[in-house]
Amino acid sequence: MTSFDRFPYSSYTHPHSAVTTPGADVDVEKHKVLVVDDEALFRLMMKQMLRNSVYEVVCEAGNGAQAIAEFEAQRPELVLMDVMMPDMDGVAAVRRILEIDPGARIVMCSAMGAQQTLADALRAGAREYVLKPFTRQKVLEALNKATS
């Protein structure tokens, strides 16, 4: 793995280290993803990481309250959400989204220091998690697990 493969250092992915989901190069319907993070740069990086895969970022939110509104309006198949955010954190948003749709597929993102909050999100109903900093491959693996 090169330093270019790690998030958040660069959005560039070396051509020989790119990981694509099987079938991503053919014309298939993509899984719609809501990306939630208070950092706009993170949301942009997720869009770039999911490019050329079977996942497509169709909406974004900067906090849990916005995530709930976007989820209700767009009904994405997956939610990729940070745990720690202002106004409404990821745990509270997970609970609310699952009240709206008990079958919602939520993948949490967390830094190493937030393991307790991450555990709370998983107990609340999130299906998977990925720890920051992460690679494109780890994000795709977590999304794949959440959809299976």
Query: Given this model, what pLDDT does residue 117 score?
Result: 83
Check pLDDT > 70 for residue 21: no
Average pLDDT on 25-36 reads 83
What is the pLDDT, as a whole number, of residue 113?
65
Return the H-helix or E-strand segment holding 108.
Answer: strand 105-111
Residue 8, pLDDT above cutoff 50:
no
- Span 35-60, average pLDDT: 94
Q: Which helix (H) or strand (E) is 82 found in, with range?
A: strand 78-82
Residue 123 pLDDT class (50, 70, 90 cuts): very high
- Domain chopping of the chain, boundaries: 3-10+30-134
CA distance 93 to 117: 13
Work out the angle at residue 91's Cα, subtended by the Cα atoms of residues 8 and 36, and round it to the nearest 5 degrees.
40
Write down the residue that tokens 């959400």 correspond to: 81
CB burial class (10 A; 0-12, 13-18, 19+) of residue 96? Answer: middle
Confidence of residue 116 (pLDDT cuts 50, 70, 90): confident
Average pLDDT over residues 110-117: 75
pLDDT of residue 26: 54
| Average pLDDT of the residues in 119-123 | 90
74-87 mean pLDDT: 94
Percent over 90 (pLDDT), the chain: 66
Residue 97 has pLDDT above 70, yes or no: yes
> In whole angstroms, what separates CA 3 from the centre of its chain?
21
For position 107, what pLDDT does the model report? Answer: 97
**Two tokens at 101?**
């749709």
In this prediction, residue 133 carries a pLDDT of: 84
- Enter the pTM of the model: 0.79
Identify the CATH assignment for 3-10+30-134 out of 2.70.240.10, 3.40.50.2300, 3.90.79.10, 1.10.10.10. 3.40.50.2300
